[in-house]
Amino acid sequence: MSVNIDEFDVVIIDTGCANLSSVRFAFERLGAKVLVTDDKASIKAAKRVVLPGVGSAGAAMASLTEKALVELIQGLTQPVLGVCLGMQMLTLLSKERGGQTLDCHALDCKCLGIIPTEIDELDRQALKAEDLPLPHMGWNQLTFSNPSQVHPLFTGVPAGSYVYFVHSYRAPLSDYTLAQCRYGEDFSAAIGKDNFMGVQFHPEKSAAVGAQILGNFLKMQ
């Protein structure tokens, strides 16, 4: 069935992940028209693209590879937002092992290679020292290294705002950090490079703050 892609505000890549519907509904609550698809032409022509994900990096990358979407995503020029595991897949590689492809079986998992940072497990020793459980699950605060120059994704989001996390792996602080959080250690709550952005937290589960972030994304050209 053909669709007029110009009618849609955002395309969510159908990765087969369980949180597709919750992300879609969060955008629809903002009045956005959303298409969920793995159709290459629709993704390439979309105004904005969301890469969602839950589960392991290996399984998610295997799904993108099976759907022949890796090179397509790497070449996108419109605003692209990775959510949770979708953010991690934008990086060079993940230390999360046990995937289903040669690159991800008992080896570091090769990711999309778009944002030059790597994913590793949260520091277990630091968590133990502060009596914090793994995974990091629940509400935690965002901070910005330069609050006077926040990325457009975080327009109207005050430092200290709470968002909802569920994860065991993280991106370290780097030149590509857009927002950060602390859980035993400081880590990147959001990363970005050029038209690609990713958030480690779940904006679709983060109440008004999450809605503000998704609304900011919908304004990007």
Would you say 13 and 73 are in contact if contact means Cβ atoms under 8 Å apart?
yes
Q: How many whole angstroms separate alpha carbon 75 and alpha carbon 29?
A: 29
Question: In DSSP terms, which residues pair with 50 in a beta bridge?
Answer: 12, 81
152: its two tokens: 């457009």
- What is the C-alpha radius of gyration for the chain, rounded to an integer number of angstroms? 16
Three-state secondary structure call for residue 57: helix
168: its two tokens: 């065991």
CA-nearest of 14, 1, 87, 9 to 46 is: 9
Helix boundaries (H) for 54-174:
57-66, 70-74, 85-88, 124-129
With b for 16 or more beta-carbon neighbours within 10 A and e for fewer, the 93-132 pattern comes to: bbebeebeeebbeeebbbbbebbebbbbebbeeebeeeee
Residues labelled catalytic: 84, 202, 204
First to last CA, the chain: 27
